[in-house]
Amino acid sequence: MSGMASDHNNSSQEEYIPHYLQKEDPFASKLSREADIVAGFYLTIIGILSTLGNGYVLFMSSKRKKKLRPAEIMTVNLAVCDLGISVVGKPFSIISFFSHRWVFGWIGCRWYGWAGFFFGCGSLITMTAVSLDRYLKICHLSYGTWLKRHHAFICLAIIWAYATFWATVPFAGVGSYAPEPFGTSCTLDWWLAQASVAGQAFVLSILFFCLLFPTAVIVFSYVKIILKVKSSTKEVAHYDTRIQNSHILEMKLTKVAMLICAGFLLAWIPYAVVSVWSAFGRPDSVPIQFSVVPTLLAKSAAMYNPIIYQVIDCKFACCRSGGLKAKSSLKKSRTYTISAHRDSSAMNETQLE
């Protein structure tokens, strides 16, 4: 019986033909022209806001690039990833939605898929590194005494190498990039899992190393931070006012990091669920009109981070003005960083120990 089941499974895999091979033109839009126009305007707005927000972050950071602390360097890298998604990827999809078809052919499809996955993976791994930084900063106070700028640059090199490896693996013959079912965008070829065991191994590897594992690290870090904060509240109350203010500022900065990670995951999890269902569920069981919604939601992720930080960081100026000069506080509050002010952080690292 098991042999018969195995033969049936193999035969079903051999018989499966992905959507982009079932029709002569895989790049023709499967949506109505009106729906494509709405999606095009939506992505245009998202792209403009994301480009302006992340561009502003990088511009402000460039003014004090030699003074950026390790945690600031990591969050600047997040802005680079988000800006890359907006500048490199979105014009392709915007033009295609307005054209009612993907107009860049297979080469453009593979480039677009690679760029989207590369910058998306870079964003998630960067947020994973930021969450670990927050965890070590709050739960292991001695950590802040040895972290230097060159450690942050080493971490950046690892992040970019990691993203490059997984984004380039499909070009080595173990995976691929393919058009989405609705025709006007491209992504990883999740449908390979329906065709072969090798395709299933590829998809599972991508899911584990580029989604599940980083997400697990982020969740672990912030759960440990929450538990640590609850247990240390009474201890901090016995410190003097300056140390208490530093601790409060670290907590607020950690909340910003949590919101950024939560925004990213909320934007991408629906897309991941639909992709997994397309890979391992019943073939072609996801309606085309439904599959476009998670894709558009995921494309908005690059816009959230500057908004989240700028809105909440307005409160940091008020928090810092009690112990710092108002002019310096207002200037520092616009640097899109998930670390405390240099003076406050230095005090926190030395006195909290």
- Report if residue 23 sits inside a domain: no
- Report if residue 22 sits inside a domain: no
Long-range CB contacts (within 8 A, 24+) of 249-252: 249/316, 249/319, 249/320, 249/340, 249/341, 249/344, 249/348, 250/137, 250/138, 250/340, 250/348, 251/138, 252/312, 252/315, 252/316, 252/319
Which token pair is 155?
A: 């971490």
Could you tell me the maximum CA-CA distance found in the chain, to the nearest angstrom? 78
pLDDT at position 310 is 63
Confidence of residue 38 (pLDDT cuts 50, 70, 90): very high
pLDDT at position 335 is 42
Q: Provide CB contacts within 8 A for 352, sequence distance 6+.
A: 141, 239, 243, 246, 247
pLDDT at position 104 is 95
- Report if residue 215 sits inside a domain: yes
- Report if residue 182 sits inside a domain: yes
Q: State the average pLDDT over residues 322-332.
A: 41
Specify whether the CB–CB gap between 286 and 274 falls below 8 A.
yes
pLDDT at position 224 is 87
- For 27, the 3-state DSSP assignment is coil
* pLDDT single digits (tens) 77-101: 999 999 999 998 899 999 999 999 9
* pLDDT single digits (tens) 5-15: 444 444 444 56
Alpha-carbon gap, residue 215 to 212, rounded angstroms:
5
Q: State the average pLDDT over residues 152-181.
A: 92
- Report if residue 104 sits inside a domain: yes
Strand 177-179 relative to strand 186-188: parallel, antiparallel, unpaired? antiparallel
When the pLDDT of each residue in the chain is averaged and rounded to a whole number, the result is 78
Please report, for the domain that includes residue 303, its CATH number: 1.20.1070.10
- Report if residue 98 sits inside a domain: yes
- Report if residue 74 sits inside a domain: yes
Opening angle at CA 75, ends 203 and 52, nearest 5: 95
pLDDT at position 33 is 94
Nearest residue to 49 (alpha-carbon basis) of 8, 87, 23: 87
Specify whether the CB–CB gap between 292 and 97 falls below 8 A.
no
Q: Which residue has the higher pLDDT, 105 or 301?
A: 105
Specify whether the CB–CB gap between 100 and 39 falls below 8 A.
no
Find where tokens 């449908």 sit: 191
- Report if residue 291 sits inside a domain: yes
Confidence of residue 185 (pLDDT cuts 50, 70, 90): very high
Q: Which domain holds residue 228?
A: 33-232+239-313
Confidence of residue 45 (pLDDT cuts 50, 70, 90): very high
pLDDT at position 8 is 42
pLDDT at position 12 is 45
Cα–Cα distances in angstroms (integers) from residue 96 to residues 36, 77, 207, 299, in the given order:
9, 29, 27, 15
Q: Count structural domains, the chain.
A: 1
